Each structure stands twice: as C-alpha cells, then as structure tokens.
Amino acid sequence: MTSTILLPDALGDAPYVSYTYAYPHKTAYRTLDPAVSLREAWAAEDRSSLFLYLHVPFCEMRCGFCNLFTVANAPQSLEQAYLDAITRQAERVKDALGEASFSRIALGGGTPTYLEARDLERVFDLLSGTFGARPEHLPTSVESSPATATPDRLAVLAARGVSRVSIGVQSFVESEVHSVGRAQRNAEVALALDRIRAAGIPELNIDLIYGLAHQTPETWLYSLREALRWAPEELFLYPLYVRPLTGIGRLGRSWDDERLELYRLGRDFLLGAGYVQTSMRRFQKAGLPLGSEPEYSCQRHGMVGLGCGARSYTRGLHYSSEYAVGAVGVREILSDFVARPAESFALASHGLHLDSGEQRRRYVLQSLLHVSGLHPGEYRELFGSEVQADFSQLADLTATGLAFREGGVLRLTPAGLERSDAVGPWLYSPAVQALSEEYAWR
C-alpha cells in the first residue's frame, strides 16, 4: 500500500500541501451508479455509537479564504425550505438506520447560528424527536460567528445543553481580517465572546488563522494574547491556504517560511500558556480528554450527516450531496436539495466506495495525525493484519525524525506534526489522488 509521493518530496520546501481533515476528500467522490440504499449501507454497521452531524450552509458573509459548502445572505424563504428538506431527509435516514444510538452531535456549516432562535429550536426538536439525540445528554458542538452569537440564539444553545461553541475570529487585528473580505470589528468580537461566556456554555473554541496579509509575528502574538483574555478551552490555529493579495513576508522569504514561523510561534506561545497540543491545529486546556474534539471523533466512528453538504461515513461507503465552492455551484446544488422528494433521501447517489485498503489507509492517516498516535494492536484488531507490513513506508517517518515509537505506538514528533499537511497527502492512495486531481471544480 505504498504512496506514489516520495517522503523527501513531501517534506521539502512545501509543508502546506493540503489540509487533511477527512480522507478521502469530497473531491474524490463521484456519482454512485447504481445509487446505494441507505438501509443496505448501514445494515452491517455498528450503530451503537454514531456521530450525528447537521450542516447549515448559510453565512452572513463569504470570507475570502473559505472553501466550505455555504452561501451568503440566503433569503428567509430558502432557510425554511432547507429546514423542510432536512426534516424529510431525517425521517428517511432514521427509517434506514433502524435501531441506532448516538454518542456525539455537531452542528456545522456555514454558520448554524445564522438561523434565528426559533429555527435553532426546530433543529434541536428534529434531532431529539427523530433520532433521540438530546444535547443535554451528549457532547454537542455548534459553530458560530461574531455577528450571530446573539443573546437569544445563545440562550437556545444553553437551554438545550450544548456543551461547546466554536467561533471563527481568525484575527484580532481588523486590517488582517478585512484583507480576506471579512467585515468584522473587534468590538463585535469582544461582545460575542462575552456573551458566550455569560451564557454558561462549558467549552469555548476560538479559531485563528496565520498567514494573513500584513500579518507579522508581533500581530500574531497580539491575536493569541487577546484570545486568551476569554480563557478558551480550545484554540484551533489554521494556516491560510489562499495566498493573500499583498505579501506578509520579508524580502527573500517564501510564504511557506512565513507560515511555518508563525505556526511555531503560536505553538510555543500556547504550550507556554498551559495548553496541550493534540493535532497540528488543535490546542486544549490540560485536563480535557484527548479525543474530545469533534474533528477527531467523527473520523473514528460512523457518522450520519444531515443537510446539503454534510457527509456520512460507513466503513465501506462515504457519501454526501455533490460538492462545490463557487457561489453558482453551491446555489445550484442547494436548489436541487430543497426540491428533493422524501423518497430520494433513502438513497446515496454521490460518494465513494472504500475497499479494505482504503479503510486501512484512512485509519492510519487519521490516527497518525492526532497526538494519540497509531496503535498497532488496535490496527490488528480492526483489520487482522500488521500495520508495519501493510504500510512499510511508515518506517521512513522514524528514519527521518518525523515520528517515534513509544510502547509500540507510532507518534509524530514536533517536526512531523508541523508537517501534517504534507505527511497526510503523502499517505493518500494513487487512486484517491487521481480522483481529486481530476475533479472539476464548481
């Protein structure tokens, strides 16, 4: 199961190859012919600890760095039609699942809190009424934004027992966020963070971005210090993947050099402030369970996705609606979704079948990029073979100082962790690489 990319090439001067948050990426999905019955897809799966995800593809603005499935300033009529479609979908999905239990809930997007308070109530009623998934009994995460973290919406989240709110701040320097088309004022950000804390929601995550136009080590540290004023339980530090129109660098240095310098600066600052690093991007207060973040949990368990843009996972099938980033493509797909009849939601028509090799590769990749590492015994229990035999190229990681073994567990070193976005693509299969490269962007 070797990779076509040589490790020295993956580790050269390009530490930021591709953000590896799911494998395979949706650019590898294609039309399923024939379409797959959801009842058949889930029949042989362990349905005792599923992840339930609901996608809200609406935002108040479209940021310049965003590659998510979302649309800005949707009319109220589209929101209502969308919620009606999700209701039809949920009924068919529940019928296909049969007896199922959920261990975690997440509302993402887009911006779920773009929905008004009464519509958030409707969403939670749907999750609890149809699936028996109640946030007061399960770890539940909701994404928000400074403009939509209003008292009435936060009151709904708190009353429903939401345990985590994630807010995309990106930078506390207004000129930096304005450079990527984000109309955001620091006063609005501070008010939103105060409101989240006042609502009493247990966990706060703040997203920040490094590599923005005009960003310097000094302004990056300023944003980090400002974020810590609210003592967040988590911070996610994301590298910008869309080159800014104006440079942040000094003469003779590449953008990769700049981002890597800022990453290291942010990492060291947060470690010194008492945070623990659990992946290239995530830093948490000491004491939280290492596997608590939704990004990690949804890769280790089956996931049921609701809504346009949501993906679902079984062991052998990943599926979703079609994928797009451009405004026209997103609106076309969304328009088709809200018009779909109920019976169509009983089928998966767009996705990718994963053979045993891809299932192994996915497990290795997702485990290795998390601080808990790759456990050979767990791999053997799941797949009946030895990971060292299936992926002999993993030895290259230890030989180059990017990984180490501790009690048999393979973990990335700090040098390996900071190159997660190169190590991840290095592990992609040739077939998945080809599908993603051939994808026609919409």
C-alpha–C-alpha distance, residues 55 and 321, integer Å: 11
The distance from CA 41 to its chain's CA centroid, rounded to whole angstroms, is 23
CB atoms within 10 A of CB 44: 10
Q: Where are the alpha helices (DSSP H) in 174-320?
A: 174-178, 186-199, 217-228, 255-272, 294-300
Cα separations in angstroms, 322 against 30, 254, 365: 8, 35, 24
**Residue 397: CA count within 13 A, CB half-sphere:** 29
* Tokens of residue 304, six digits: 């049921």
- Expressed in angstroms, the distance from the first to the final Cα of the chain is 31
C-alpha–C-alpha distance, residues 413 and 384, integer Å: 27
The pLDDT, as a whole number, for residue 13 is 64
Longest dimension (CA), the chain: 61
The pLDDT, as a whole number, for residue 10 is 53
Query: Which residues, 6+ apart, have CB-to-CB distance to 222 below 8 Å?
Result: 172, 173
Average pLDDT, 10 consecutive residues per value, the chain (442 residues):
55 79 91 98 95 92 75 89 98 97 94 96 98 96 96 98 96 92 92 98 97 94 98 96 47 76 98 96 84 57 94 96 85 94 97 97 94 94 96 95 96 96 94 93 77
Ranges in the chain annotated CATH 3.80.30.20: 27-298
Q: Is 96 left (phi over 0), alpha (psi -120 to 50) or beta?
A: alpha
The pLDDT, as a whole number, for residue 251 is 38
The pLDDT, as a whole number, for residue 294 is 57
Q: Which CATH fold would you assign to the domain 355-438?
A: Arc Repressor Mutant, subunit A (1.10.10)
Angle between helix axes 117-131 and 76-97 (nearest 10 degrees) is: 10
DSSP 249: P
C-alpha–C-alpha distance, residues 16 and 256, integer Å: 7
Cα separations in angstroms, 127 against 96, 122, 178, 193: 16, 9, 36, 27
Are 238 and 210 in contact by the 8 Å Cβ rule? The answer is yes
Q: What is the pTM of this model?
A: 0.93
55 phi and psi angles, rounded to 5 deg: -100, 130
C-alpha–C-alpha distance, residues 439 and 442, integer Å: 9
Are 236 and 205 in contact by the 8 Å Cβ rule? The answer is yes
C-alpha–C-alpha distance, residues 175 and 172, integer Å: 9
C-alpha–C-alpha distance, residues 3 and 365, integer Å: 12
Residue with tokens 């890769």: 299
CB atoms within 10 A of CB 216: 15
**Residue 9: CA count within 13 A, CB half-sphere:** 7
- Domain covering 27-298 in this structure, CATH number: 3.80.30.20
18 phi and psi angles, rounded to 5 deg: -165, 135
Residue with tokens 């797959």: 36
Ranges in the chain annotated CATH 1.10.10.920: 355-438
Q: Is 312 left (phi over 0), alpha (psi -120 to 50) or beta?
A: beta
Q: What are the DSSP calls for 2-49, one per residue?
A: --SS-HHHHTSS-S-S---SSSS-GGG-EEEEEEEEHHHHHHTS--SS
The pLDDT, as a whole number, for residue 252 is 45
The pLDDT, as a whole number, for residue 70 is 82
C-alpha–C-alpha distance, residues 169 and 188, integer Å: 10
